Amino acid sequence: MNAELNHVELVAFHLTGDRSGGHLTDVAELDMRPALFAGYGDLTGLRYDYPLVLADNSDGEGAVRTLSSIVDDVLNGIAPQGIEGEFARKQLLSLEHRIRSAVAGGAQGTLAKLWQQAGDRMLAGADDTVGEDLQNVLAQAEAALVADGEVIDCDGATPGKVLRHLWQTGQRRKNQSLRHRLDKLILGLEGILGADFAKSETGRSAAQLKGALRGSYEAAFDFDALSNILPRTASDASLPEDRRLRLHATLKVLQTQRFVPASELLRESNAEAPYDFVFQGCAAAKAAFEERLPELVALAKALSVAELEMENRFKPARHEHYFEAFDQTSLRPDDLAQFPSYLVLLPDGDADGVVIERARAAELLSSGLPVKVLVQTDDLLGEDGVTPGQIAMRGNNLHIANMAVGINSAYVLQTTTAGIFRLRNRIMKGLDYAGPALFSIFSGDAGANGSRAPYLTAAAAAESRGFPAFTFDPGAGPDWASRFSVASNPQAETDWPEHELTYELEHHERVEEKLNFTFVDFVAADGRYAKHLTGVGNGSSDKGLMPVGEYLRRKAEGRRDNVPYVLMIDGDNVLRKIVVGEPVIRAAERCVENWHALQELGGVHNSHAARLLETERQRWDEEKQRELDELRAQAAAAASAAPAPAAVAAVEAVAGAVEAEAPEAPAPDPDVAWIETPRCTTCNECTELNNQLFAYNDNQQAYILDIDGGSFKDMVEAAETCQVSIIHPGKPRNPKEANLSDLVKRAAPFI
Ligand code: SF4
């Protein structure tokens, strides 16, 4: 086709969506995905974050594990390094693949069950030459498998399941602590009252003594004789009536509370079932909190009174008045933090009820109550055509997260299901936070994404800045630099992440190209937006086509006469150049503006800091120039009395001395681990991970205490969890460490 005609048609399509030229191809049925996801057609063949195992009875970061990490642990236990362990490694990786495929196909259950089923299938398909060896490997592996729990894939249920599991893990810890405190106080108060009762006439009666020693002891005593002896030996001093009444009332509150389950030890004392703390709506959670508030106040009061009584420190003159006036306003955040928090799970949707609940979430978070709210987003874009001339971003959920940051006292975390595993520690931190917390999570399980797995949609949303990750932790420090972080986004300092794409042309010519992953890639993979995209006909000219990353970087005049295109892979794995309509470009521009705002909050390209830096740099340059001019003038004056070569040397020496004033620091050796200590935000992640390897200096900023104080794995994990990406793991020091090739790959982005 004529190159000019082709270009005119593409420009017309880009500006108006007009396809009447007849040479443009429809992309609606192509089932496209971004070219940078070319290698991710079948996720079951990859070892990646999913499936996840929600580990039973595990605390901390072990509460959620990847299947791959569990298999690696088993392999470390049973497969020797080198060729000797090759058979076991091969078989267990095959078993992992079978479990991953089964879960992707809808299988559900615990890891133990799915592991067993996969092993059985392997044995059933094995021939005689390997059957016995395989059986041995599977038996050893099963014995070495210590983790168990529900296995989940990445789908619309993932945010709720992960959050609920981590919340339960934290509540279990909290409940145990409160339960222990309650048991101790109940037993103590019962002891005081029991001793007092034993001194009373009733307490010393034969019937009472017989009742107190039931069962096998009953026949061993003459209770009438015992009853006659006791009055002579017991002290007559008994509790004052007001104290006895107070102890009884306090004990009753402790015994009948419903905030934590009754203990095994004292089961008979608590007849009613404990309260439920998981809600599907904000209104229900708030109503439950308010309804239970009087009981909660009574319990907090009873705990304090009981502790004073147990230590014999309750002074009526001092405490009675205080506890009479004790009400909900007396509760401090620390008091509330010892009770279970309220978990609210809000699904996605446009139904009235869902929209109202989202509005209520804002109100609930502002109230400061101990609520943990999950706001889930399944569909980021919505149907095309809702807003004329614009890509209809369903931005409500993004706005809720931004609004929650504005509250300034709520913990806020936003991520996608593709990042949920990596951010599990921060999710737990938000769940443990004493105040309200919001978790805004994109599942990727909706929209017209063809055959693409929800994980890839979620990863594309994060990569394209459509659903950027961030955390706001009000407890992390006094300023935004400590509280707000966007560091967990890919290449957080850039507008769009850049990656290398290698592909072959028709005649096997190899092409390597650097591509940006932009919001256009995300939109182009959504079939509902096909009308804003067109394929370039076979054999068409590339005249005037510009990669979308480059196009977005340019201002209007730099774009003139060009049309933007994005590289996509179709359902047959064919690479295609797809020309993009103006509405998609405008959506990408809005997206990057939002991203810039987040970057600024996170201290990346902060405009105030940049302006200050520029002013300081100018001032420094002017000062140095003035000094240089003065010295040159002095040297020139001195040289006028000296021979010519000496004068030139003097002037050069003076200039050189001034210019050499700002020596450059030697570049760090990329092979050796190091930390950019001055940028450390003291978040404790690395020091908690391994305090032999990392420590704080006098400024409370992390440095490497002992480079041999931990493994390369520790170093890589610290680099991955560091919020500001300042840990550089260098190269492994122990060539025998397990999984080195995997670790080196993970370390690469931080070198
Ligand atoms: S170096 Fe350690 S303490 Fe400092 S910000 Fe990174 S992870 Fe946190």
pLDDT at 660: 47
- Where residue 214 falls among pLDDT bands split at 50, 70, 90? very low
pLDDT of residue 522: 94
Instruction: Burial-class residue 223 by CB neighbours within 10 Å (0-12, 13-18, 19+).
Output: middle
* Residue 279 within a domain: yes
The answer to whether residue 45 is domain-embedded is no
Query: Domain total for the chain?
Result: 6
727 Cβ below 6 A of ligand 1? yes
Would you say residue 631 has pLDDT above 60? yes
Considering the domain architecture, whether residues 644 and 628 belong to the same structural domain is answered as: yes
Q: Is residue 667 assigned to a domain?
A: no
Q: Cβ(704) to ligand 1 under 6 A?
A: no
426 with 452, same domain: the answer is yes
Query: Does residue 72 sit in the same domain as residue 122?
Result: yes
Instruction: Please give the Cα distance from 751 to 741 (Å, whole number).
Output: 15
Mean of the pLDDT values across residues 731-735?
Answer: 91
Residue 496: name the closest of 457, 465, 460, 458 by CA.
465
Has residue 315 got a pLDDT over 80? Answer: yes
| H/E stretch holding 742 | helix 740-747
d(CA 413, CA 337): 19
Stretch 478-489: mean pLDDT? 93
Q: Are residues 402 and 503 in the same domain?
A: no
Give the list of residues 6+ apart from residue 679 with CB closer than 8 angstroms, or none.
724, 726
- pLDDT tens for residues 100-114? 999 999 999 999 999
Backbone angles phi, psi at 750, to 5 degrees: -105, 0
- Would you state the structure tokens that stand for residue 493, as one six-digit string? 């300092």
Instruction: Write down which residue in 118, 153, 188 finishes a domain.
Output: 153
CATH for 705: 3.30.70.20
Asked if residue 548 lies in contact with residue 562, where contact means CB atoms within 8 angstroms, the answer is no
Q: Which residue has the higher pLDDT, 58 or 429?
A: 429
pLDDT at res. 356? 87
For residue 439, the surrounding DSSP H or E stretch is strand 437-442
CA–centroid distance, 680 to ligand 1, in Å, is: 5
Say if residue 477 is in the same domain as residue 576.
no
Pairwise CA distance, residues 365 & 371, whole Å? 7
Q: Among 674, 683, 703, say which to mutate for ligand 1: greatest number of ligand atoms within 8 Å of CB.
A: 683
HEC-encoded secondary structure of 90-129 = HHHHHHHHHHHHHHHCCCCCEHHHHHHHHHHHHHHHCCHH
If asked whether residues 228 and 79 sit together in one domain, one would say no
Name the token pair of 292: 């239970």
Count of Cβ atoms closer than 10 Å to residue 482 Cβ: 18
Among 153, 169, 200, the domain-final residue is: 153
710 within domain boundaries? yes
CA–centroid distance, 667 to ligand 1, in Å, is: 21
Q: Is residue 182 part of a domain?
A: yes
Write the DSSP string, 121-155.
HHHHH--HHHHHHHHHHHHHHHHH----EEEE-SS
Question: Which of 486, 682, 704 maximizes ligand 1 atoms within 8 Å of its Cβ, making it the mutation to test the pocket?
Answer: 682
Model pLDDT for residues 51-77, shown as the tens digit of each residue: 999 999 888 889 999 999 999 999 999
Cα–Cα distance for residue pair 166/160, rounded to 1 Å: 10
Mean pLDDT of 261-280: 78
Query: Does the pLDDT of residue 441 top 60, yes or no?
Result: yes
Q: Model confidence over 649-671: pLDDT tens digits?
A: 544 554 454 444 544 556 788 89
Contact 485, 724 (CB under 8 A): yes
Q: Is residue 422 domain-shared with residue 384, that is, in the same domain?
A: yes
191: in domain: yes
Residue 585: pLDDT above 90?
Answer: yes
Whether 321 and 455 map to the same domain: the answer is: no
Whether 666 is in a domain gets the answer: no
Q: What residue's CA is closest to ligand 1, atom 2?
A: 686
Q: Which of 579, 597, 615 is at the close of a domain?
A: 597
Claim to verify: residue 530 and residue 549 sit in the same structural domain = yes
What pLDDT is recorded for position 217? Answer: 44
Counting from 1 in the atom list of ligand 1, the atom nearest the Cα of 696 is 3
Percent of the chain residues topping a pLDDT of 70: 86
Cα(121) to centroid of ligand 1, in Å?
46
- Mean pLDDT across 266-291: 86
Mean pLDDT of 663-683: 81
8 A C-beta contact, residue 55 and residue 63: yes
Ligand 1: nearest atom to the Cα of 684: 3
**331 and 343 housed in the same domain:** no
Q: Is residue 404 scored above 70 in pLDDT?
A: yes
Are 144 and 165 members of one domain?
A: no
pLDDT in tens, 91-101: 999 999 999 99
CB 592 within 8 A of CB 495: yes
For range 428-441, the mean pLDDT: 95
Are 204 and 229 contacting, i.e. CB atoms less than 8 angstroms apart? no
Mean pLDDT of 403-416: 94
Q: Kindly state if the Cβ of 683 falls inside 6 Å of ligand 1.
A: yes
pLDDT of residue 223: 54
Atom of ligand 1 nearest to the CA of 682: 3
Q: Which atom of ligand 1 is nearest to the CA of 677?
A: 1
Spatial distance between the Cα atoms of 495 and 490, rounded to a whole number of angstroms = 10
552 contacts: CB under 8 Å, gap ≥ 6: 495, 496, 516, 518, 520, 564, 585, 588, 589, 592
Which stretches of 393-500 are DSSP H helices? Answer: 396-407, 424-432, 454-463, 480-483
pLDDT greater than 90 at residue 305: yes
Work out the average pLDDT over 696-714: 89
The order of strands in the sheet holding 149-152 is 64-66, 52-55, 149-152
Close Cβ partners of 673 (under 8 Å, ≥ 6 residues apart): 704, 707, 715, 727, 728, 729, 730
What three-state secondary structure class fits 529?
helix
Is 715 a pocket residue for ligand 1 (Cβ < 6 Å)?
no
DSSP annotation of 640 reads: T
Residue 438 — φ and ψ, nearest 5°?
Answer: -120, 135
| 8 Å CB contact between 215 and 267 | no
Q: Is 368 left (phi over 0), alpha (psi -120 to 50) or beta?
A: left
Q: Is residue 705 part of a domain?
A: yes
Q: Which residues contact 593 (CB under 8 A, 6 or more apart)?
A: none
Please say whether the beta carbons of 554 and 615 come within 8 A.
no
For residue 350, what are the domain limits? 339-485
pLDDT at 3: 63
- In this prediction the ipTM stands at 0.97
Same domain, 527 and 549: yes
